[in-house]
Structure 1
């Protein structure tokens, strides 16, 4: 009995330690819509996750470096795969009462510059940063990134291509590990793309802070199977051990 109780306490502790922040794409918690990520700046610890929830339109989550906004980072440096969600058409998932999601795991605390590569959304201001570090370099801010983006050329750029084909379609199956390194001056930070899947529709959460929303707030769907949130699953397992 002691072992079962200890095991259950350990599982609950692990579940509570999960840190997931949500970024709403194309639509805010107050139902504002536009070419924007909500929030546009996120501070995320190493090992934590950032989940992008696509609410309207057909957008992407694409990593660039600071100096070349609106261009996939792998197009600048072919040795870096970078983060790329693929196009996420919401309408197809909405018919199933789902929304597309894309989750990354933060590997370091260096800045990750993110933009939407659909058409000229990036030039129109659809960009954000994870772990902005203006204390290290005041000029490398999201505001300055957006200013540079206004004059960027090219549209519908995808990793590995120098020009877009305007196909604007995809299922988010593409992935990248963002295994670049740097201080935000060129390559940027690192993040592993954990998953691209659909999530049951609910109203977007309020602007997230570190550790919120909890990992219990969403139900992740992978393939044809529905998987409950990590915390719920762990508690079910723990309950089984308590009955031993």
Structure 2
């Protein structure tokens, strides 16, 4: 099978168009927030959660149940990073990460399942769509979270299919659990968003917001694609 130069360039261009969106989880000064907390991403883009300080998690809910694992209220499983404790003194040197791939353009809602962090506003959305429904905004989601009676963590035994790094070592395929949280609950892990391996935890290795995947994990994929095409 023969491929023209134009075809190969088109394939490489489509792959390199993938983006990595970086979201900071917490901070060395104790901020209870995802930053940014409202992300627009295309299908196939990667979202890398970088744990910057404190003991936090990334868990997926739905809009109507902001502090509850999505598996408890729907027939979907959901993202769960496990708890990732980062001491303030180490926050700038070793950054645990958790990376997921965006599988749909529909809104996806996330929260931190630690203590009352969800109720205190530590929530976020990927692909908010107020054009379709103005009442389902991040602001409204935060108001619902504030009124939640409990903050429930997914079960770490059955959590998702993604990889995380913690201090530079690769976690289990369920997203590693480092440390313990004060909340507990049933539910299972891996999302309507599929997962990818994350980058090393050292701060010098993590990408900046909006970085092209060609400079991260997709670079190896591009080499593989080209090699496979020329072997056909």
TM-score by length of 2: 0.70
- The answer to whether residue 211 in structure 2 is matched with residue 213 in structure 1 is yes
More moved, 8-17 vs 50-59: 8-17
In structure 2, what is the Cα distance between the partners aligned to 1:15 and 1:56? 33
- 8 Å contact from structure 2 (residues 77, 190) kept in 1: yes
- Correspondence for 1:159: 154
In structure 2, what is the Cα distance between the partners aligned to 1:235 and 1:108? 26
Q: 1:37 to 1:204 in 2, by over 3 A?
A: farther
- Correspondence for 1:73: 70
Uncovered stretches (5+) of structure 2, i.e. residues with no partner: 157-165, 176-188, 228-232
Listed as ranges, the matches of 1:73-222 within 5 Å are: 73-77=70-74, 79-91=75-87, 94=90, 97-155=93-151, 157-160=152-155, 173-174=173-174, 176-178=189-191, 190-195=192-197, 198-202=200-204, 208=209, 212-215=210-213
- 8 Å contact from structure 2 (residues 99, 198) kept in 1: yes
> How far 1:154 moved relative to its partner?
1.9
In structure 2, what is the Cα distance between the partners aligned to 1:159 and 1:76? 12
**Cα RMSD between the aligned structures?**
3.6
In structure 2, what is the Cα distance between the partners aligned to 1:124 and 1:146? 8
In structure 2, what is the Cα distance between the partners aligned to 1:196 and 1:82? 18
- 8 Å contact from structure 2 (residues 114, 153) kept in 1: no
The secondary structure found in structure 2 opposite 1:98 is coil
- 8 Å contact from structure 2 (residues 104, 193) kept in 1: yes
In structure 1, what is the Cα distance between the partners aligned to 2:10 and 2:202? 29
The secondary structure found in structure 2 opposite 1:194 is coil
Larger strand share, 1 or 2 = 1
TM-score by length of 1: 0.67
- The answer to whether residue 218 in structure 2 is matched with residue 230 in structure 1 is yes
- 8 Å contact from structure 1 (residues 72, 82) kept in 2: yes
In structure 2, what is the Cα distance between the partners aligned to 1:172 and 1:58? 18
In structure 1, what is the Cα distance between the partners aligned to 2:34 and 2:43? 21
